[in-house]
A and B are shown apart, each in its own frame.
Chain A
Amino acid sequence: MNNACLLLIQRAVFKLMKQPAAPLMGFGMSLFFLLVYNAGIGGIGFMEAFGSGGYLSFVFPIAMVSLAMGSSAGAGQTLNADMQSGYFRRLYRSPLPRWALVVAPMLADTLSTLFFTALLLGIAAACGVIFQYGVWSVLGLLLLSFLWSITLCGFSAGVMLRTGQSQSASIVTNAVFPLLFLSTTFLPREMITTQWLLTVSWGNPVTYLLEGSRYLLAGTSSARFFYVALVLFAASAVVSIAFALGSTRKMRM
């Protein structure tokens, strides 16, 4: 990566720091989910299905997932602001590889998500959430968060480039949102009694993200979910980056 690419990444990070609304909203929203769900449903955390970590450890992955969702529109919004001002065309005409123009805001967004995820993990640890494998659990959770964030950022940036419309930055988040509720979000599989929801949850990639995280937290899920989540979201991150890069050739300037 050359110096100009690093400059672009630096610029994208500074832009986020100057206008931190998206990541802060994402952080606030995920913290809110964590507190509200724990307060509202946490009473059932003594049941065996929730393991020794109680309901807080069980519901914590949803906070991580929603954190990335809340801030993933940032890359699209940065691109949109540059396209609206015409500055994107100037950057496009600089001697940079075209991928850098798209990857820089995506990386900035992902770094921001990782920062807030780490903060969330700290808060979770202080509140008694269990990390079954200690530092390895933390690293595993950060890795899942990274892949999930890249996936969302790439699709968000790609859609933005193809449509050139500011509203489209949040299309991906809105499209993914229902998946959060078609999964084992609030209850373990064995406590979900509706068959169609169980069936849908098996085909829902978010389920593997949640269950993979739960394996690393209180161990209420199996290692298989973590490995499937890794493969699934590594693949989706690659597809998402390819989609974003492919969009540079179809962008509306």
Chain B
Amino acid sequence: MSINSKLDIYNGSLDVSLIIKRWYDEESQSNYGAYIPFIGTVRSEDGIDGLSFDIYEPILFSWFNAWKVKAEKRGAIVKMAHSKGDVMLHESSYIASVFSPKRRVALELIDEFVEDFKASAPIWKYDLKDGRRIYAKDRSTAIKGSGLLGVTL
């Protein structure tokens, strides 16, 4: 059963084993020689209890669809899962995967996809600390072309 590229949003943490296995099963007969998952896990640092995420889904889905087209031009597909809301320490909030006939395309695409995701996907991260939700401003990246409305006219 092949269902190709897809993006799923979950409330709270991701069930890594289930998602990785489900994606494997979906493509097990699709003749892809390579399946490369990237699994993002919340680490303990700076005294945080976890992370929390806001997502703007309309632009996230158009960003993902552009990647789907880009991957498919190279004979590959991408699958992605991301959390919204709270994700506690040592849980996963993000999984991205590339399937391709040969390893080289998958290795290159997973790198390009995850880097562009970090720079462009409309998702906002907050530290959960002492019962507060604090925007991770210093770890965030302005989307390319930002600042338009701040230009003095």
Q: Do A and B come from one complex?
A: no
- A residues near B (Cβ < 8 Å) are none
